[in-house]
Amino acid sequence: MLRAVIEKTGAQGLFYDTRDLLKTIRSTYDPVVKASESSILRPVMECPFLVLDDLGAERPTDWVEEMMNLIVNTRYNERRMTLFTSNYADVPDMEDPNSLLFRIGFRMRSRLQEMCSTVEIDAADFRDEHLPQNASDHDLVSLWQLKKRPKDLPNRAHKAAKAQIRDGRADLRWPGGRAGS
């Protein structure tokens, strides 16, 4: 997605696996490391388009929650376009360790619900151990058809992506919600 936005619009963007970003930020606390926390966070908070991959995969700790809330809340207030991916279901169950809410907390989930449109992707996992090494699209479709799906999850696919391209230039300002109003 990021590559397509950059190619179509020339916009600047960043991609981070959430765990790698947190690990990089944490490394700045080591006196041997020359980078500062702000030198890592500034580009993440200020880039026009950020992709945070695998949200919720990190072990939930107070520090992780504080750092992720800082990043998300800053981008929310500045109305910056952010794409989040997660393998956790967005179900309102704080007791289920496999729910996104359990992994990220109420505060961040509230921000995400306002600033994001959720698109659930129901597809085969190309990393599946049962998939042949040189799997074709047909193999992926076959694996997807065999996949067991929970019946109680609502369909969360919403409207099209909010970033619009005008005259060959991207408008990557986040148009949703009340932040900054």
Question: Which pLDDT belongs to residue 142?
Answer: 73
Backbone angles phi, psi at 84, to 5 degrees: -110, 140
Per-residue pLDDT at 141 exceeds 60: yes
Bridge partner list, 50? 14, 82
| Domain ranges for the chain | 2-120+155-171, 125-154
150 confidence band (pLDDT: 50, 70, 90) = low
Section 34-50 average pLDDT: 94
Section 21-33 average pLDDT: 93
Section 136-148 average pLDDT: 69
Question: CA-based angle 73:68:84, to the nearest 5?
Answer: 85
Q: Calculate the average pLDDT of the chain.
A: 79
Question: Which pLDDT belongs to residue 123?
Answer: 66
CATH 3.10.350.10 holds for 2-120+155-171? no
The model's pLDDT over 99-135, given as tens digits with 9 standing for 90+, comes to 999 999 989 999 998 888 888 876 666 666 666 677 7
Section 12-26 average pLDDT: 95
Question: Which pLDDT belongs to residue 22?
Answer: 96
Amino acid 123 reads A
145 or 28, higher pLDDT: 28
Question: CA-based angle 161:23:126, to the nearest 5?
Answer: 50
Note if the pTM is more than 0.85.
no
The model's pLDDT over 50-80, given as tens digits with 9 standing for 90+, comes to 999 999 999 889 999 999 999 999 999 999 9
| 81-84 and 49-53 beta bridge pairing | parallel
- Nearest alpha carbon to residue 26 among 89, 68, 79, 77: 68
